[in-house]
Each structure stands twice: as C-alpha cells, then as structure tokens.
Chain A
Amino acid sequence: QLHLQESGPGLAKPSETLSLTCSVSGDAITDINYYWGWIRQPPGEGLEWIGTIYYTGGTYYHPSLNSRVTISIDKSKNQFSLRLKSVTAADTATYYCARVPLDGDYADHWGQGTPVTVSS
C-alpha cells in the first residue's frame, strides 16, 4: 500500500530556506508511470501546485515559484525533497507531497501534510 510521509522543520525564519523531505513506501520512486510532486495550502486558503519531479531528475515548477524552488530526488532512499529559498510569511502553509500520474497533473495519493510557519 502506497504511503507518503513528509518530514522537516515546522518553523522557518524569513529569508531562510525551507527544506522538506517526502519518504515513499509501497511504490518505487523510479516507477516510470508517475511524477512526484509538492502542493501547499496556506491557512484557510485553496491548494497551490508547487512542482513535480520525474525519477530521471526532470522537473516542473510553478512559474511564480520558479526562481526560489528546487525539487530533488534520492532514488537510493526512495525519497524526494523540496527546497524553497528566501521564504516570507506568505510561504506559511501546510505542505503536501503527492504522487502524480504521468498522464495528468493531478495527485492520486497524498502525504498527510506538514505545517510550516514562517516567522521570526
């Protein structure tokens, strides 16, 4: 059974870099049928697509975050990671990792989410 679990600090200071990791079990991160992605949800707001990565390392980033975001993959650990630099209070959100089918940018399995607050 597929399980995704986010981990990382729940607090970041303004201008710092936010780093989160998603550990995947029940499926190989090298599965050719899927991307692996990050989605966030600010408190009381809608969801926002951050980006995706394929096991080959190819990435897609939301244009509004493109200059600040990096998604990477560690096939040996069956994990993928998010780095978001120069964070501000607007980056306060619950961050979800998810599996994304190759035939469409929707998320068919989600992690439970991890809340991140940006505050000094």
Chain B
Amino acid sequence: EIVLTQSPGALSLSLGESATLSCRASHSVSSSGLAWYQQKPGQAPRLLIYDASNRATGIPDRFSGSGSGTDFTLTISRLEPEDFAVYSCQQYGSSPPTFGRGTKVEIK
C-alpha cells in the first residue's frame, strides 16, 4: 500500500500568514487521486481538496492544492482563526486508500 508522509508535523504561524503543507507518497499516486482534509479537535474531518487540486463545495479559495506523482502540497493563504487545525492527506489512486498522519497548524 502507498504510505503518505506529511511534513512538517507541526507548523506555528500567525494570522494572515501563509501555510505550505507537504504530502509525499511512497509510490506514484495515479490519476492525481489525492484529497486533503481539515480536522478540528472533537470534530469529524472536512473535505477541502479532491483530485489534488479541486476545492470541495463551500471551501474558500484561500485553500489550494497542487502536485502530482509523489509530491503534493496544500497551501493556505492568509490564515484566519478558524484555519488552525490538523490537516491530513489521503490517496485514493491505488487500493487500499491510505491517509497521512497529519500536520498540525498552530497559532504562533
């Protein structure tokens, strides 16, 4: 199965700054089958991005996804208070679907 490694494990940033989160796959992810989720404590994950770069319904345009093959990036521009959370990537290009361990974005 494909192993996803997310980096950094945690990121401390200030309001208004930009965050760049990395997700690296152990093997190439076919058909850009990669999603990003946001999860806050005690809440279910929320889909942000699918197919590597498509924003899910209702997701603000300050969230953007890019990448292909084995390297993918989630960029959050102009961090707002509600953006501080854990972000996880998931690949579904190969079976079984697998998730990364997450990157925690904290307020500096």
User: Which A residues form the contact surface with B (CB < 8 A)?
Assistant: 45-49, 60, 62-64, 96, 101, 104-113
Contacts and interface: CB of A to CB of B under 8 A. Distances in A.
Nearest to A65: B96
Contacts of B1: 63
B46 interface: yes
Contact of B46 (A47, A49, A110, A113): A110
B88 interface: yes
Contacts of A106: 33, 35, 47, 50, 90, 92, 97
Given A104-B33, A106-B90, A106-B92, A49 B98 contact: yes
Interface range on chain B (Cβ under 8 Å from partner): 20 to 34
A25 B33 CA distance: 28
Given A49-B98, A111-B44, 6 more contacts: A46-B88, A96-B44, A104-B92, A105-B97, A106-B90, A107-B45
Contacts of A107: 37, 45, 47
Contacts of A104: 33, 35, 50-51, 92
B99 A46 contact: yes
